[in-house]
Structure 1
Amino acid sequence: MRFIKVFFSIIVIILIIGISAYYFLPKLVADQVMDKVAVELQDSGQLETIKNEINNDPQLQAFIEEGKNVDSSKLPFQTKEEATRVLVKKFNVSDLKDFQTKAKNGMTAEEKQEIFSKLENTLTEEEMLALKVLAYKELSK
C-alpha cells in the first residue's frame, strides 16, 4: 500500500514538471531569442541598415504600410516579445536563423519572396497583420 502511494506521488510530480515545462519552456526560449536578436541588431548597427533597406524598397514599404491604420488591440499579439513567441512556436530554429542570416547579408528579390511565402503559408492572416503593425511601429520610431 505504501509503495502504491509513493509510486502515484512520483507520477504526479513528473506530470506537474512536464506540464510546467510545456507551458513555460516556449516562453523562456522566446525571451532568450528576442533578447539575443535585439542586442545583436542594436550592437552591430544592422537595425539602421535594415530600416534603410526597407525605406528603399517600395514592395516592402507597401507591405508594411498595410499595418498603419489597424487597431492592434484586436490582433493576436501587440509586442515584439509576443511576436517572437508565436514565431518560435510556428517555425523551427533553423528557419528563424536562415531568416536572420538572409536579412543580415542582404536579400535578393527571390529571397524576399521566399520568406514572404513561408510567412504567409505558416501564419494566419491576423498574425501577418500583427507583424505588419509591429514593423510599421518599429520603423516609425
Structure 2
Amino acid sequence: MKKAIIFIVIIIGLLYGGYRYFLTVASDQMIDQVASELLTEEVINEIIDDPQVSAVIEKYRGEIQSFQESSIQKEELPFSTKQEATKLLVSKFSFGEIREITTKASRGLTVQEQVELEKKVMDRLTQEELEALLVVGLTEIGY
C-alpha cells in the first residue's frame, strides 16, 4: 500500500512538472511565432498609434519599465508573465482556435476576419486581461 501511494505521488509530480514544462514551451513558441510572423515594424507602429493602445501604454509605462528592469509584479494586472498570459489564453480559447487564429494571421487577415477576431477576443477577455496582455506583449518585444 505504501509503495502504491509513493508511486501515485511520483506520477502526480511528473504530470505536474510536464504540465509546467509544456506551458513554458508553448508560451515561448506562441510569443516567438507572433513576434516573428505578425509583429512587423509597420504593424507595431500601427498598434502603438491607436489612441486606445496609447492610453493603456501611458497608464502602464512605469510598470512596463519595471517589468523590464526587474520581476516586480503589480497587483493591478491579473498577470505579468508570458506563461501566465498563455495559461489565460489556453483557458479562454481552445488549441484549435489558437491554431486557426495564428494560421489566418500568418497569411494575412481581411478586414472582416480582423473584426471577427476582435469581437471574439473582446467577448472572452475582460478589459484588465486585455491590458495585461498588452503590457506583457510590449515587454516581450522590448518596447
* Structure 1: gaps (5+ residues): 1-5
What is the TM-score when the length of structure 1 is the normalising length?
0.67
Q: Paired residue for 2:29? A: 36
Residue type of the alignment partner of 1:76 = P
Provide, for residues 30-81 of structure 1, a one-character-per-residue CA deviation record: whole Å limited to 9, x for no partner. Answer: 2112222344456xx53552x41343468x8234324211375121111223
TM-superposed CA distance for 1:83, in Å, is 1.0
Who is 2:37 aligned against? 46
Instruction: Kindly indicate whether the alpha-carbon contact (under 8 Å) linking 2:85 and 2:133 is maintained by their aligned counterparts in 1.
Output: yes
Q: Tell me, in whole angstroms, the C-alpha distance in 2 between the residues paired with 1:24 and 1:86.
A: 19
Provide, for residues 98-120 of structure 1, a one-character-per-residue CA deviation record: whole Å limited to 9, x for no partner. 12112211112221222222222
How many residues end up aligned between the 2 structures?
130
CA contact 2:47–2:53 (8 Å) conserved in 1: no
Identity across matched positions, percent: 29
Q: C-alpha root-mean-square deviation of aligned residues, in Å?
A: 3.2
Is this contact kept in 2: 1:64–1:136, CA < 8 A? no
**Match of 1:67?**
56
Say if 2:3 is the partner of 1:17.
no
Measured in 2, the distance between the counterparts of 1:101 and 1:63 equals 26
Supply the distance in 1 between the matched residues of 2:126 and 2:80 (Cα, whole angstroms).
Answer: 15
Residue in structure 1 matched with residue 94 of structure 2 by the alignment: 92
CA distances 1:7-37 after superposition (whole Å, capped 9, x unpaired): x65256436634763x544432221122223
Instruction: Select which of 78, 81, 89 maps to 2:80.
Output: 78
TM superposition score normalised by structure 2 = 0.66
1:111 counterpart residue number: 113
Shift of 1:131: 1.3
Rg larger for: 1
Q: Is the 8 A contact 2:79 2:85 kept in 1?
A: yes
Counterpart for residue 130 of structure 1: 132
Cα gap change, 1:120/1:56 in structure 2, threshold over 3 Å: closer, same or farther?
A: closer
